[in-house]
Amino acid sequence: MSDIHDTATELFTELTGRTPDGLWSAPGRVNLIGEHTDYNDGFVLPFAIPHRTVAAVGVRDDGIGRVRVASTFAAEPVEVALDELGTLFPTLRQAQGPSSQGKPAVPEWAAYPLGVAWALAEAAGAAGAGIDIAIASDVPVGAGLSSSAAIEGATASALNDLWNAGLDKTALARIGRKAENEAVGAPTGIMDQMASMLGEPDAAIFLDCRSLEAQLVPLGVAEAGLAILVMDTRVKHAHSTGGYGERRAACERGAAIMGVPSLRDVSVGDLSRAETLMDDVTFRRVRHVVTENQRVLDTVRVLREQGARAIGDLLVASHASMRDDFEISVPELDTAVEAALSAGALGARMTGGGFGGAAIALIEADAVATVSDAVNAAFAASGFAAPHLFTVTPSAGAQRDA
């Protein structure tokens, strides 16, 4: 058990005076390649990282149908009746009309676990017994490493077990996404939840976001003498506001103009026709998604045929596409990528939704210090706050730990 497990256990006992019935955890993720393709029914290739969120959870002993949640993110716990969960969240309130206005909203951090409780109760047909949840995490928040999917995965796994819901990992990932879309109000796809649920040591998850068919692809990074460096710029991002939703809307517009259900159905060969049909901005958004889908397929093929050492150029092309066509990079991310490449990285790209967060670099295992020094120096020279640099290895997905 880690420090995070101890912290979650202590927080649970502080909240309830009891010991938890169990500990469940779920990881954050890095996306190796395939950005903003998930909500376009496309392909992604993420892997789970060692950083995890732990939920210490117990059924309430007072027979009351309430859910209470505490987190190291917040000073105060939040407590609500299980049968009122559906009225709490902004997007649900809008859908339900004026009669539900005026109900107390919950703080955003609590909307993740409470949204999961609501969505899981819906999927299972009913909520189970009243429940107490204490959450601790070492997944960096706002860094594009899916701290939110880690909370959703840990909470969903716990409630699935304690409420005997019997749902499989894909169903739990869908519940996490529903919480994020409808309780938190972030219009995200399913990549992060699937990565957090399905992660395995030493493998990336090649996911078809249309069928949700997932294949494990061995990465062999360490065997190839390589390492993956995460370069967290500390520029915070949020997907419930602004740019993320605009990019999603542009993709939907592009698909409608092309007369297809989603951009998954547009191939690289269709791009010259697409360019004649739409405005320049929409076209560039479409071109990013269409070429990024192809880069995911190419990366999987290259990993299988030649190994991790050969994927660097695909990572670099992906970053250029996000910077120039999808326009979701920021100067700090570009600086991290360029500095890592100049210091000898085989490939580098921003990871996650963009507008801040982290980039990754594929580097020689013995070059961690050299590349880190170069990135730190480039940030200092640009007057940026120091980045947070650390290596990651593909890790296990959501599980019960105790």
**Which span sits near ligand GAF by CB under 6 A: 124-132, 185-193, 280-288, 382-390?**
185-193
36 is in an annotated binding site: yes
Q: List Cβ neighbours of 59 (8 Å cut-off, separation of 6 or more).
A: 21, 128, 129, 130, 131, 162
User: Which CB, 188 or 329, lies closer to ligand GAF?
Assistant: 188
191 binds ligand GAF (CB under 6 A): yes
288 is in an annotated binding site: no
401 binds ligand GAF (CB under 6 A): no
Residues 216-255 touching ligand GAF, rule: CB under 6 A, are: 239
Q: Can you tell me which of 192, 232, 332, 334 binds ligand GAF, judged by CB under 6 A?
A: 192
115 binds ligand GAF (CB under 6 A): no
What is the residue-wise DSSP string for 97-134?
Answer: -GGGTTSPPPPHHHHHHHHHHHHHHHHHSS--S-EEEE
Q: How far does the chain reach from its first CA to its final CA, in angstroms?
A: 9
Task: Check if 298 is active-site.
Answer: no
User: In the complex, what is the shortest distance from the CB of residue 239 to ligand GAF, in angstroms, rounded to a whole number?
Assistant: 6
User: Which CB, 113 or 353, lies closer to ligand GAF?
Assistant: 353
For residues 45 and 300, is the Cβ–Cβ distance under 8 A? Answer: yes
The residue annotated as part of the active site, out of 192, 232, 334, 401, is 192
Q: Can you tell me which of 160, 188, 196, 395 binds ligand GAF, judged by CB under 6 A?
A: 188
Among 334, 344, 394, 346, smallest CA distance to 373 is for 344
142 is in an annotated binding site: yes
φ/ψ bin of 220: left (φ > 0), alpha (ψ from -120 to 50), beta (otherwise): left
* Whole-number Å distance between alpha carbons of 279 and 287: 12
41 binds ligand GAF (CB under 6 A): no
* Whole-number Å distance between alpha carbons of 275 and 198: 37
Residues 1-40 touching ligand GAF, rule: CB under 6 A, are: 31, 35-36, 38-39
Q: List Cβ neighbours of 211 (8 Å cut-off, separation of 6 or more).
A: none
145 is in an annotated binding site: yes
The catalytic residue positions are: 192
Residue positions forming the annotated binding site: 35-38, 142-148, 180, 244
